[in-house]
Amino acid sequence: TLNLPRIAYRARGDDDRLFEEARRLMDLAVEIFKVKKRWMDLAVKAGRLPFAVQRPRDPRTGRRGPPAVDLDSLVYTIGVVGGNEMAQWHTGYQLHESPEAVKLLVKLLLEMRKYKVELEQRTGLRLAIARTPAESCAQRLAVADLISPEFRDMAVKVVKGDLERAKELLAEGVRDVPVYYTNGTHVYVGAQIPLTERISIEQKFWPILSGGNIFHIWLGEAYPDPEALFKLTKRIATQTHIGYFAYTKDLTICQQCFEVSAGINDVCPSCGSPNVKYWSRVTGYYQEVSGWNEAKKQELKERYRTRISV
């Protein structure tokens, strides 16, 4: 998963250098894929992947079928993180602040897609440029830049989260700190813009990426109007390029009376107990918030939740 903001730091405002740097990182990714492939080939040869390469017998003919997993047809995925911060550093605007920022990210992804085809021809590997879940690397890459003497001064200007708290913790040697780069090609989670505007920005990246992308709808209401929910769902499914989307309602689960209530509540609305746990969608799945890393917890606080009822 490529650290897009770092590409922008290195480019110093020059588009050509931005694209050049992206290609260099893609070359690096391919070298890693080659190592991985060599490792897998050796593992197969040594009989270390018996389940994946098993050839089950056809129950009727008794003849063996093809291997369960066709390792040669694997697609190697290059992911992206921090498209928003890349654009922010390079253009001065975040995705939700200017069409110029959106245009730059589209352009960068198109350049990457073009180069992907070239790399496929050169290496024989099947490659994909996709959004990856990046639950840890959205934090990890931001931290890597914050502790790097080369990138620190630039990173502090665009990383999201609680930078002051993160700086204190980083100084103590802690690495699980509440800062992050925006996931994939998403708009900053805290951007206070209407849902329709976020749809119109994020849908532009769908036709360019070959998978992995998700559009989040962070619900701000405990019980949105079903009719409004239906209309929105229909609209996204039939009138946008968004191919996969998720509604997320935060949940509070009382450890005293086990009542499940909507939203992040300090105390259980039913029995008043402060002994509560929270569940929400970290990126793809619902998980208990206490198990999230500090960056994702911070992101949860910053998510701009929308009302969809009229």
Structure token digits, residue 118 = 């070239």
| Alpha carbon separation from 46 to 39, 41, 50 (Å, rounded) | 11, 9, 10
Between residues 248 and 256, which has the closer beta carbon with respect to Zn ion? 256
Contact yes or no for 222/308 (Cβ under 8 A)? no
Distance, CA of 3 to CA of 22 (rounded, Å): 9
Between residues 92 and 272, which has the closer beta carbon with respect to Zn ion? 272
Between residues 154 and 251, which has the closer beta carbon with respect to Zn ion? 251
Site string for Zn ion, 2-21 (x = CB under 5 A): --------------------
* Window 213 to 272, contacts with Zn ion (CB under 5 A): 254, 256-257, 259, 268, 270-271
Between residues 151 and 279, which has the closer beta carbon with respect to Zn ion? 279
Q: Output the CA torsion sign for 114, 119, 120, 125.
A: negative
Between residues 237 and 260, which has the closer beta carbon with respect to Zn ion? 260
Q: How far is the CB of 263 from Zn ion (least distance, A)?
A: 14
| Alpha carbon separation from 272 to 254, 261, 263, 289 (Å, rounded) | 9, 12, 15, 20
Q: How far is the CB of 264 from Zn ion (least distance, A)?
A: 15
Between residues 136 and 270, which has the closer beta carbon with respect to Zn ion? 270
* Window 269 to 288, contacts with Zn ion (CB under 5 A): 270-271, 273
* Window 25 to 54, contacts with Zn ion (CB under 5 A): none
Q: How far is the CB of 266 from Zn ion (least distance, A)?
A: 12
Chain centroid offset of residue 84 CA: 12
Q: How far is the CB of 288 from Zn ion (least distance, A)?
A: 17
Q: How far is the CB of 257 from Zn ion (least distance, A)?
A: 3
Any residues with CB less than 8 A from the CB of 30 and at least 6 apart, and which? 76, 119, 123, 125, 127
Q: How far is the CB of 277 from Zn ion (least distance, A)?
A: 11
Number of residues in contact with Zn ion under rule CB under 5 A? 8
Q: How far is the CB of 252 from Zn ion (least distance, A)?
A: 9
Distance, CA of 9 to CA of 150 (rounded, Å): 9
Distance, CA of 36 to CA of 14 (rounded, Å): 33
Between residues 214 and 268, which has the closer beta carbon with respect to Zn ion? 268
DSSP β-bridge partners for residue 76: 127
What are phi and psi for residue 266, nearest 5 degrees? -65, -40
Between residues 136 and 265, which has the closer beta carbon with respect to Zn ion? 265
Q: How far is the CB of 290 from Zn ion (least distance, A)?
A: 17
| Alpha carbon separation from 42 to 30, 33, 56, 208 (Å, rounded) | 18, 14, 22, 34
Between residues 273 and 309, which has the closer beta carbon with respect to Zn ion? 273
Distance, CA of 284 to CA of 246 (rounded, Å): 8
Q: How far is the CB of 274 from Zn ion (least distance, A)?
A: 10
| Alpha carbon separation from 61 to 55, 58, 67, 112 (Å, rounded) | 14, 6, 17, 47
> Residue numbers of the site for Zn ion (CB under 5 A)?
254, 256-257, 259, 268, 270-271, 273
